[in-house]
A and B are shown apart, each in its own frame.
Chain A
Amino acid sequence: MLSRVADNLFWMSRYLERAENTVRQLDVTMSLMLDTSDTSAETRWQRMMASLGNPVGMEWNGDLDAMASKLIFDSLSPASVTFCVNGARENAGQVREEISSEQWQRLNRLFHQMHAPLAQIQVRTSINDLLASVVDGIHLFKGVSDTTMIHGQGWQFIRLGRYLERAYATATLLEVYQPDLFQVHEREDSGYQYLELVGLLRCCTSFEAYCQVYTADLSPGRILEFLLLNRDFPHTIRYTVDGIRHAVESIQRTGGRRPPDELTAVIGRLHAMLGYTTIGEIVAGDTASFLHTIREQCMRIHELIYHYYVQYSIQSALAV
Chain B
Amino acid sequence: MSAGPTVELGTLLGDYPLDQAFDEMRERNGEVRPQYRALAETLARLPKEELQRRKQSADLSFLNQGITFTVYGRDEGTERIFPYDLLPRLVTAEEWDRIERGLTQRITALNHFLHDVYFDAKILNDRVVPRELVYSCKHYRRQMRGLQVPRNVYIAVVGSDLLRLTTGEFVVLEDNLRVPSGVSYMLTNRRVMKRTFPKLFHSYGVRPIEHYPQLLLATLRSLAPEGRPEPNIVLLTPGVFNSAYFEHTYLARQMGIDLVEGRDLVTHDNIVYMRTTDGLKRVDVIYRRVDDDFSDPLIFLSDSSLGCAGLFNAYHAGNVTVTNAFGTGLADDKAVYAYVPRIIRYYLDEEPILANVETYLLTEADQRRHVLANLDKLVVKAVGESGGYGMLIGPQSTALQREEFARQIEANPRNYIAQPTLDFSRAPCLIGNHLEPRHVDLRPYVLFGDKVNIVPGGLTRVALEKGSLVVNSSQGGGSKDTWVLEQ
Contact = CB atoms under 8 A, between A and B. Distances in A.
A317 B279 contact: yes
A108 interface: yes
Contact of A4 (B253, B261, B278): B261
Interface stretch (B9-17, B263-271, B349-357, B378-386): B263-271
B66 A4 contact: no
A96 interface: yes
B319 interface: no
B277 A251 contact: yes
A97 B277 contact: no
Nearest to B250: A97
B278 A256 contact: yes
A108 B276 contact: no
Contacts of A43: none
A97 B249 contact: yes
Contacts of B259: 97
A93 B276 contact: no
A299 B385 CA distance: 51
Most buried by A among B250, B277, B280: B277
B249 A96 contact: yes
B274 A2 contact: yes
B263 A4 contact: yes
Given A4-B261, A96-B249, A257 B277 contact: yes
Interface string A282-320: 000000000000000000000000000110101001101
A31 interface: no
Contacts of B264: 2-4
A13 interface: no
B81 to A, nearest CB: 13
A70 B64 CA distance: 31
Interface string B248-291: 11101100001111011010100000111111100000000000
Given A4-B263, A101-B66, A108-B66, A94 B275 contact: no
A94 B248 CA distance: 11
A5 B276 CA distance: 9
Interface in A1-34: 1-6
A251 B277 CA distance: 9
A312 B279 CA distance: 8
B280 A318 contact: yes
B203 interface: no
A255 interface: yes
A8 to B, nearest CB: 10
Task: Please report whether the interface of chain A is mostly helix, strand, loop or mixed according to DSSP.
Answer: helix
Nearest to B279: A317
Contacts of B250: 97
A99 to B, nearest CB: 10
B159 to A, nearest CB: 21
A86 interface: no
B79 to A, nearest CB: 10
A94 B261 CA distance: 10
A51 interface: no
B121 to A, nearest CB: 40
B65 interface: yes
A283 B47 CA distance: 76
A101 B66 CA distance: 8
A104 B66 contact: yes
Interface residues of B, number: 27
A101 B62 CA distance: 12
Contact of A97 (B253, B263, B274, B280): B253
A153 interface: yes
B240 interface: yes
A317 B280 contact: yes
A122 interface: no
Contact of B268 (A94, A97, A104, A314): A314
Given A97-B253, A105-B64, A314-B280, A3 B275 contact: yes
A95 to B, nearest CB: 8
Nearest to B267: A314
Contact of A1 (B240, B245, B266, B276): B276
Nearest to A6: B277
Given A96-B249, A255-B278, A2 B268 contact: no
B277 A1 contact: yes
Contact of B240 (A94, A153, A314): A94
Contacts of A104: 66
A153 B277 contact: yes
B268 A318 contact: yes
Interface string A103-134: 01100100000000000000000000000000
A310 B275 CA distance: 8
Interface in B336-395: none
Contacts of B239: 94
Contacts of B246: 96
B277 A3 contact: yes
Interface in A246-279: 251, 255-257
A2 B234 CA distance: 11
Contacts of A153: 277
Contacts of A310: 277
Contacts of A96: 66, 245-246, 249
Contacts of B275: 2-4, 312, 317
A257 B64 CA distance: 36
Nearest to B260: A2
The 4 A-B pairs at the shortest CB distance, nearest first, are namely A97-B249, A256-B277, A96-B249, A3-B275
Given A93-B240, A94-B240, A96-B66, 19 more contacts: A2-B258, A2-B274, A2-B275, A2-B276, A4-B263, A4-B275, A5-B258, A97-B249, A97-B259, A105-B66, A153-B277, A251-B277, A257-B279, A314-B266, A314-B280, A317-B275, A317-B280, A318-B268, A320-B279
Interface of A: 1-6, 93-94, 96-97, 101, 104-105, 108, 153, 251, 255-257, 309-310, 312, 314, 317-318, 320
